[in-house]
Every structure is written in C-alpha cells, then in structure tokens.
Chains A and B, each alone.
Chain A
Amino acid sequence: MSTESSPLLSVAHIEPSTRWPSLGLNEVWDYRELLYFLTWRDIKVRYKQTVLGAIWAIIQPLFMMVVFSLFFGRLAGVPSDGVPYPVFTFCALLPWQLFAHALTESSNSLVGNRNLITKVYFPRLVVPISAVLGGTVDFAISFVILLALMFLYGIVPAWQVVAVPGLVLLAVTTALAVGLWLAALNVKYRDVRYTINFLVQFWLFATPVAYPSSIVPAKWRVLYGLNPMVGVVDGFRWALLGKPESPGLPLLVSLIVVLLLLVGGLYYFRRLEQEFADIV
C-alpha cells in the first residue's frame, strides 16, 4: 500500500461570503474533467429510451423550416435577400436552436442539479457551462443537414465559411452570458422557470430568423443591434450564403454586448453561488 499523498498539500480556506468574490475561473479549469463528464452525461441521456434517438436533433429545426417557409416565405412573401427561403431560414434556425436550447438548459441547470449542489462541492460554474455545451452535438448533426440542403439548391459557401466556428462560439457564449443570470436567479426565484419559454419565444421574433434584418427600419437599427443574436444570425448568413454583404457592425455590437453580459453574469453568479446550497 503506497498511496502516500504528495508533499504539496493544498489548503482550502473556508470563510464567510464576500460581496466581491473572485471569478474563480482557474478552478473551473481544474474541474474540466467534471465539465466533460456532465456534458457527456447530458448528451448521452437526452435521447435514451426514445424511439427516434438523435433524429430528434434534426426534426425540430427541419419542421420549423417547413413551417416558416410555408407561412412566411410562401403566404406572407417575406423577402429573403435573394436566397431560396428554406435555405435562408434554415441557416438562421441552426444558430437560433443552438442558442435557445443552451439558454433554456443552462437557466434550469442549477435547479435540475440540486442533488449535486447540496451534497458535493465543485465550482458551480461547471453546471451551466456543461448545460450550454450539451447542445453543440445537436447543432453538429443539423449542420450536416444544412450542408445537404445547400448542395440541393446549388449554393457553395465562399471563404467566409471559416468564420462558422467563431460564430458558434459567439452563439454559445451569448446563451451562457444570459443563462448565468437566469440560472442564478432561478435558484432564488422559481418564477424564472416560467418566464424562460416566454423569453425565448419573444427573442425569436426579435432576431432575423424568419426575415432578413434588412427589413428593419433604419431608425430602429441601433436598438435592434443590441440583441446579440442579430449579429450571430447575420454572421451565419454572411459566412454560409454571402448575404448580407458584411455583418461587421452588428457583429461588433453583439461582441461588446455579450462581453458585458458575460462579465456581469459571472460576477452575479459567483456572488449568489455562495448561498446556492442553502436555498436551492
């Protein structure tokens, strides 16, 4: 039996709550294996005991694309920047679904993992982060469908396609930034749970998923641009379809808004985190 500890003992100092805790991101890094396992658990368990399994990942965006194409594209005649409407909307639905799923999951993640939070110590940030990452596999699956759809319509993406990973990261970060606020609030006020669905639906219409951002009147553009998902969705269309020509400004605004939301969310989360186990 030679399982002696290393000579360097770590020391944990336990102290009362502070108003301005450190962000503790290095600790999240220390717990990256837990992050991996929790994400893996969510993905693994999601489609267990379902007949269709991972097909569910593509049914939802595909179905929404059909509905949007029918009602907005055909009946309402919404313009689509000269791109076939199904491709136009599906291209936006992918980052949107990734975002909506990540936002919902991360907002409910702390409450859903209460049994862990009240019984084991680990940096609580791991929970909403893993919830956000869990949706990326679904995204990857439906991305293949998008490529097939583009091939069908004879659309070949230009060099901008290299921006896709960055845009995925931005969509995920946006979801995390808002999710951190909501997850922490949800622990304290369970009302949050009921507002999330409503919020996501409202947000969908505030984002150019069913319509191009070019139809928004110029005087509302600034306000509109504060929605970080505008930059993400426009960025996606630009990267894959080449329309609109340049998403530069909205994307920059998105980046700044997300960064502010994220830093604020991290601090808010860390501050509330200290009492999660007592009130969750």
Chain B
Amino acid sequence: MSNLAIRCEGLSKRYRIGASLERYKALRDVITDAAAAPFRRLRGASRNGSGNHTHVANTQAIVDNGYIWALDDVSFEIKPGEVVGIIGRNGAGKSTLLKILSRITKPTSGRASVYGRVGSLLEVGTGFHPELTGRENIFLNGAILGMRRSEINRKFDEIVAFAEVEKFIDTPVKHYSSGMYMRLAFGVAAHMETEVLIVDEVLAIGDAQFQKKCFQRMSEIGRHGRTILFVSHNMSAVRTICEQALIVDHGRLLARGEVNQTIDQYLAQVNPQSEEENVETPTFRVSSVQVTSETGPVIKTFDPVQIKVKFIPKIDIADPGMFVSILTVESRRLAGLDFKDFTRAAPVEAGQTCELGFTIESLPLLPGTYRLELHLKNSRDMVELVPHLYEFEVAETQVYGGRKLDHWFGKVGLKANAWIGD
C-alpha cells in the first residue's frame, strides 16, 4: 500500500478571461447565455483589449495576456488519513484545485496522483431530480457519486436515518422542505466509503442545525482514518475538523502546516486587508480599503476597529460621502454606516485622493468571514455602488470567557452580563 493519498507536482490551471466570464453569466441564466452565444467571442475580445481589470480584481488571480492563472505551480503531498483544510480568499484557486483533484477539469500543466477511490462533494444534491422520490434520488445520486448499488443498499437505512426522512422516503423530493432536501443530499454523499473525500464549502448552506449535523458527520469520517480535503470559509469548522491546513492565495500555495498556526498566519495576512488593484465606478477609482483592529494584527470580537477608504474622483465632488455596509459571506446585510450622519467632508477636486473612514468603538461581530460593501456619493443625491466586496475576517477568540462559539450563537456578539436574582 502506498504511503501517499494525494500528490501534486507543479499543478497549474489557466483560464481564458472571456471563458470565465461567460461561465459566470451562464450560471445565472442558461437561457440568456444561449441567446448571447454568438456575441460572446466578441465581448471577450474587446474586454481583453481594453485592459480593464476591474472584473479580474474580483477573482484575485494572476492576469496574463487575457488569461488567468487560477492555479500556479502548486505542489504538495498528503498522507493517508490526514484531514486537511484548504483556506484562502474567494477566487484564490481553492475550488479549481478541488476540481482538478476530483478529475472534473484537467490541469494546464503539472500532474497529480490520487491513491484510492475519490468521493467529491462540491455541491450538495448534484443530480437530484425534483420529480423522483427520496428513495429513487438516493440511488440516482449515489450512482452519480460513484457508489455501487450494493453499497447504496447497504447504507440505505443509515442515509435515511441521517436525513430524518423515514416517513417521506416515497414522496417526490419537490415536496420536501429545504432542510429535508439538504439533509438527504448530504446524507448520500456522507456515506460514501471512499479512501479520499473532497468537500467544498457544503457547510456554508443550510441552517445551524444542518451545519451542526454535517459537521459531526465530517469529524466522524475523519476519525475513521480517511483522507479528507476540506474547503471552507468557516474557520472554526476547519479548526475543529482538520489537523492541517493549506493556504492558497492568487493561485499559489502559500503555506502548509498545523491547522491553528496556519490559520492564524492566514488571518494576520488577510487583515488588515488592502486591495492593490483599483476598482472603478463611473466617477470614482477606489485605491484602497482597509479594515484594521486598533489592538493588534488580527481583528477580534469587540475590538475597536477602523475602516479606511481611499478613492480618487474623476470629477469634482462638492460633498463627498459614502455608505458602508457589512454583509455576511452569504451577502446578508448585517449593518450599515452613512458618512453624512456623522460629519461633512471638504470638497474634492478631480484627480485628488480623498480618504474617509469610520471608527467602530467595539466590533459586535462573532468570529467568521464578513464582507464590506461600499457606496460612494458623487453628487447631492447620486450614489454609486463599488463593484467589489472587500472581505475581512474576525478571528477566533473566546468571546464570552471559556469556550469557542459555534453557529448557535449567530453572527452578532452581545456585550452582556449574566445576573442572578435575589
């Protein structure tokens, strides 16, 4: 038996920018995509020609003559039984890496070997058909994931019990609640008996209870000596499940090591976040956005925090202003701050750098990834959305004394005290 589970040597993947754009569009709407097909080439060409990189800034990958290196010379080895978390910003190349290792897409150069059967779970419920019953979907989905019928038969009761759908197993899944649907879909994948399991961000969907359940199942699988590669934005999930972590950034492997150490290193690097690339709106160029803690390199719950935005208007602005929103990674709006509610800034001329900011006395966010959405004001009532979400991370700390907080505690930290009646 080999003493390796996965070996990657110089793995690289290049995408054409036009191609990645069209796919993004197509995901939203297959029909409009089909209608636009004849024009796609044209559009891609003109974008590349203009050298406008605003959309590329979102994917944060290396741009090279109309190509993006989503993955650039990545090499590592993973031994059987290791549970490894892959962390990095959006578009850093994590998913591309998983897709290559799952054999969904081919690398542009380099090679990889995966020893043993691979189960990959890049999405919950791939291939589920709404018209088919729960029972039928278990078999269909199992076959799609590469399970043998005998294996599914053996695991059937366990899957149904995990999903808690015993009563509805012969009902078409279109009548299921979304919770039932997701439990069933995850259940099938979570009962694969493969040597290597590749999981992408599946815990990001669903309610807290669902996440907890998946979470437990993942830890259980990990304890049984199987190799797991796990991508997640949920740092506490990675810390709990994984022993090791890989950091991927701009398509490159930055670090690898013990999970807590590696995550701390990652957080220190991501915060304060500053984007080198300029993001443009019709009348502004945003040159940097920073979120920093005033107490250290890492942002922690209840820290005093500063948000600093630097931008250059293309026209004279009499009354510059901005609106900053904090969103969850699922883009749910948590809070907002409007500059004009606090003070007025001096007029700025075209081409001059303007810096505006907020200080937050105590950041009421629990550990996790958040996003900053920015609107800039170009005249009395006109505001422009900056087409980029700036991510920042609130590091894992012991918010209320002793223990780590999980999803049961939500997103918001409450400065509270408990008391006992007389």
Contacts and interface: CB of A to CB of B under 8 A. Distances in A.
Contacts of A5: 116-117, 193, 195
Contact of B140 (A41, A48, A193): A41
Contacts of B37: 189-191
Given A41-B132, A115-B127, A189-B37, A11 B115 contact: yes
Contacts of A45: 129, 131-132
B122 A119 contact: yes
Nearest to A18: B106
Contacts of A279: 19, 23
A16 B110 CA distance: 7
B19 A13 contact: no
A60 interface: no
Given A9-B195, A277-B105, A14 B19 contact: no
A277 B104 contact: yes
A36 B152 CA distance: 15
A15 B111 contact: yes
B100 A14 contact: yes
A237 B118 CA distance: 50
Most buried by B among A14, A17, A44, A45: A14
Which bracket fits the contact residues of A? 35 or more
Interface string B84-112: 00000000000000011111111111111
Interface string A16-42: 110000000000000101101110110
Given A37-B140, A41-B140, A44-B132, A9 B115 contact: yes
A277 B27 CA distance: 12
B59 interface: no
A117 B37 CA distance: 20
A117 B148 CA distance: 19
Contacts of A49: 131
Interface in B190-231: 193, 195, 224
A7 interface: yes
A214 interface: no
B244 interface: no
Contacts of A197: none
A254 to B, nearest CB: 33
A120 to B, nearest CB: 5
B106 A16 contact: yes
Interface string A164-194: 0000000000000000000000000111010
A190 B23 CA distance: 13
B73 interface: no
Contacts of A3: 193, 224
Interface residues of B, number: 50
B165 interface: no
B129 A41 contact: yes
Contacts of B15: 278
A191 B38 contact: yes
B111 A190 contact: no
Contacts of B34: 190, 193
Given A33-B148, A189-B37, A274-B106, A116 B1 contact: no
Most buried by A among B106, B108, B122, B193: B106
A13 B113 contact: yes
Contact of B105 (A7, A15, A116, A278): A278
B143 interface: yes
A16 B195 contact: no
B2 A9 contact: yes
Interface in B142-163: 143-146, 148-149
B139 interface: yes
A121 interface: yes
Contacts of B146: 31, 34, 120-122
A150 B19 CA distance: 55
6 contacts: A12-B118, A16-B109, A36-B143, A37-B143, A190-B33, A274-B106
Interface of B: 1-2, 15, 19, 23, 30, 33-34, 37-38, 99-118, 120, 122-123, 126-127, 129, 131-132, 136, 139-140, 143-146, 148-149, 193, 195, 224
Given A14-B112, A40-B140, A119-B126, 16 more contacts: A5-B117, A5-B195, A7-B1, A9-B1, A16-B106, A17-B106, A33-B143, A33-B148, A36-B143, A38-B143, A49-B131, A117-B104, A118-B104, A120-B104, A121-B146, A190-B37
Interface of A: 1, 3, 5, 7, 9-17, 31, 33-34, 36-38, 40-41, 44-45, 48-49, 114-122, 189-191, 193, 274-275, 277-279
| 8 shortest interchain CB distances as A-B pairs | A190-B37, A121-B103, A37-B143, A14-B112, A277-B105, A119-B126, A34-B143, A12-B114
